[in-house]
């Protein structure tokens, strides 16, 4: 089997970096891009922060009020509202550069993508390193953004490698130095391993990937279930056979709003779902689109996020269908709902044109 050459490209503090390209004077200041809620004041959460702000413990997901407290000694700290339209435009330009340099291009999100470049570089990691540097230079020249690139024989290791030397990093992991690269890393470096799993390993006196290799697959399966256990067993050995799949950014429309009060009362939430569905439906009608997937997005009072979605049998443009499915998803989400809900959103995706129903793969 031929050795693949896979890139994982990840933008550094993407939203804040986009803002710095618009206003270069921000580069020396702590910058926080915020999702302000409709409640006014400092209500809301940090979407992303640049490295100057991160030094003070500001990170995505924390409340804006916490971030302001941590930065109160920095009179030059800047708090900006998110501008998703601008970030999507920037992302689209960067993705075009990446796509033109890939055999297979897989869009993951506004700020990351996988590229399979095996044919382009004849399986040669030295050539791959030069190509990655060219991509970085091109993105910097055309769009004024820096990114970090991980290169390896598979998606898993490339993702770990892109995070290894942030910001503006370039890390090459060849088949020969895979173990050497992975073993000293902390267990948390493995994508998908969260706080709880890391804590469990810590209790077992396991800190690094090398430590984790001591566990056999049966112990891992018993501890974490067969699916997760097998994944962890393979991941620490750098095994990942998942191909890079051709995937463009799929267009979607969504509306999210902060509720007048935190609540888990079904009737109150249902009324909001009805209104949000109408707003999303208006956007669909303006753009002459049908949808095949409906989703809801819930931000709980502790700012943790839940989302649910379902695929319909056929594309539709019916408001009734949208409300019915969003309501059904809300009921499912509320089944084991312990925390109150702060923000609620409705989204539609898998869009097609009302006539001709051609598929949409362009950026929003």
Q: Which residues are catalytic?
A: 112
Q: What's the Cα-to-Cα distance from 49 to each of 27, 186, 296, rounded to whole Å? A: 12, 24, 26
In the chain, alpha helices (H): 14-22, 51-54, 64-70, 84-99, 125-143, 155-162, 178-182, 195-203, 209-212, 217-224, 226-235, 266-286, 319-334
- 363, with CB counted inside 10 A (0-12, 13-18, 19+), is middle
Nearest one of 274, 310, 317 to 295, comparing CA atoms: 310
Nearest one of 42, 41, 55, 44 to 13, comparing CA atoms: 55
Euclidean distance between the first and final Cα of the chain, in Å?
38
Kindly tell me the sign of the dihedral angle through the C-alpha atoms of 183, 189, 192, 196: positive
Kindly tell me the sign of the dihedral angle through the C-alpha atoms of 152, 156, 159, 163: negative
76 annotated as belonging to a binding site for a ligand = no
10 annotated as belonging to a binding site for a ligand = yes
CB 48 within 8 A of CB 33: yes
Buried b (16+ CB within 10 A) or exposed e, 248-285: ebbbbbbbbebbeeebbeeeebbebbeebbeebbeebe
Q: Classify 120 as helix, strand or coil.
A: coil
CA within 13 Å, CB half, 148: 18
Summarize the annotated binding site for Mg(2+) as residue ranges. 10, 111
Summarize the annotated binding site as residue ranges. 10, 111
């Amino acid at each position: 089997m031929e050795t693949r050459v896979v890139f994982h490209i990840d933008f550094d503090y993407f939203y804040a970096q986009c803002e710095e390209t618009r206003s270069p004077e921000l580069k020396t200041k702590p910058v926080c891009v915020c999702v302000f809620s409709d409640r006014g004041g400092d209500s809301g959460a940090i979407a992303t922060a640049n490295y100057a702000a991160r030094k003070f413990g500001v990170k995505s997901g924390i409340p804006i009020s916490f971030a302001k407290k941590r930065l109160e000694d920095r009179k030059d700290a800047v708090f900006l509202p998110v501008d998703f339209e601008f970030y999507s435009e920037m992302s689209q330009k960067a993705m075009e550069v990446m796509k033109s340099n890939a055999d297979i291009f897989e869009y993951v999100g506004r700020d990351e993508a996988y590229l399979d470049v095996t044919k382009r570089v004849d399986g040669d990691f030295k050539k791959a390193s030069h190509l990655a540097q060219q991509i970085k230079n091109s993105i910097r020249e055309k769009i004024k953004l820096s990114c970090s690139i991980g290169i390896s024989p598979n998606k898993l290791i490339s993702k770990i490698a892109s995070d290894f030397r942030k910001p503006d990093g370039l890390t090459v992991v060849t088949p020969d130095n895979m173990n050497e690269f992975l073993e000293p890393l902390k267990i948390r470096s493995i994508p998908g391993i969260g706080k709880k799993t890391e804590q469990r390993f810590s209790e077992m006196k396991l800190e690094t990937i090398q430590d984790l290799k001591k566990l056999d697959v049966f112990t891992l399966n018993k501890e974490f279930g067969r699916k997760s256990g097998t994944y962890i067993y393979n991941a620490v050995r750098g095994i990942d056979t998942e191909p890079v799949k051709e995937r463009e950014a799929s267009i979607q429309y969504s509306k999210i709003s902060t509720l007048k009060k935190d609540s888990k009362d079904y009737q109150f939430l249902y009324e909001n779902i009805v209104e949000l569905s109408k707003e999303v439906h208006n956007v669909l009608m303006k753009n002459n689109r049908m949808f095949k997937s409906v989703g809801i997005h819930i931000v709980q009072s502790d700012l943790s996020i839940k989302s649910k979605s379902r695929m319909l049998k056929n594309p539709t443009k019916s408001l009734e269908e949208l409300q019915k499915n969003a309501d059904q998803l809300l009921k499912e989400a509320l089944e084991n709902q312990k925390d109150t809900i702060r923000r609620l959103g409705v989204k539609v995706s898998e869009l097609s044109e009302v006539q001709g129903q051609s598929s949409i793969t362009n950026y929003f």
